[in-house]
Amino acid sequence: MRHSRRPGRRGVRALEPRGPAVEEGTEPDPRFTFANERTFLAWCRTALALVAAGLAITQLLPPFAGTPWGRRAIGVPLIALGALVAAVGYVDWGRNQHALRLGRPLPRTVLPLILTLVVAAECVLAAVLVLSSGRAAR
């Protein structure tokens, strides 16, 4: 069962799910397709939550005393991480669907690792900013 109207076209596999590479195999059980889609949507909402947190930090937080760039230093990486999570989430959706079509084990994803590392780094940065601005205010 093929849905592509351009069966001969060769595209970048990750960004072009209509390419021939992902048309291999058979259509999986619809429940798996739906589950894969929900996973993508959950990552999408995670990305939006990161964007919202970054916006709130840069726009609503009072400035750090003595560190005028402090709010942006915390908020902007969160928003950039949101964009990255959306992009990688989309690539993962395509890879998962490809694996489902071929009946292979699902590929590993780097998203939890990226999210953990960036959020941990953000926590350290925020702690440093809070401590240093507290000292400057005194």
Partner 1 sequence: MTGPERPERARRRAPEDVEDLDPGRARERTHLAWRRTASSFTAVSAAVAKFDPAGGVALLVMAAGVWTIATRHAAWRPDCTGAWARGRAVRTIALITGLTALISLLVAVFAEGRPS
The contact set with partner 1 (CB under 8 A) reads 1, 3-4, 17-18, 22-23, 27-31, 33-38, 40-42, 44-45, 47-49, 51-52, 54-56, 58-63, 65, 71-72, 75-76, 79-80, 82-83, 86-87, 89-90, 93, 97, 100-101
- Least distance between partner 1 and beta carbon 136 (Å): 13
- Least distance between partner 1 and beta carbon 77 (Å): 10
Q: Which is nearer to partner 1, 4 or 116 (CB)?
A: 4
Torsion-angle region of 66 (φ positive above 0: left; ψ -120 to 50: alpha; else: beta): left
Q: Which is nearer to partner 1, 2 or 108 (CB)?
A: 2
Give CA–CA dist 84/74, Å, rounded: 16
Q: Which is nearer to partner 1, 54 or 129 (CB)?
A: 54
Neighbours of 129 (CB within 10 A): 18
For 103-124, letters b (16+ CB in 10 Å) and e give: eeeeeebebeeebeebeeebee
- Least distance between partner 1 and beta carbon 95 (Å): 12
- Least distance between partner 1 and beta carbon 36 (Å): 8
Neighbours of 32 (CB within 10 A): 16
Q: Which amino acid is at 59?
A: Q
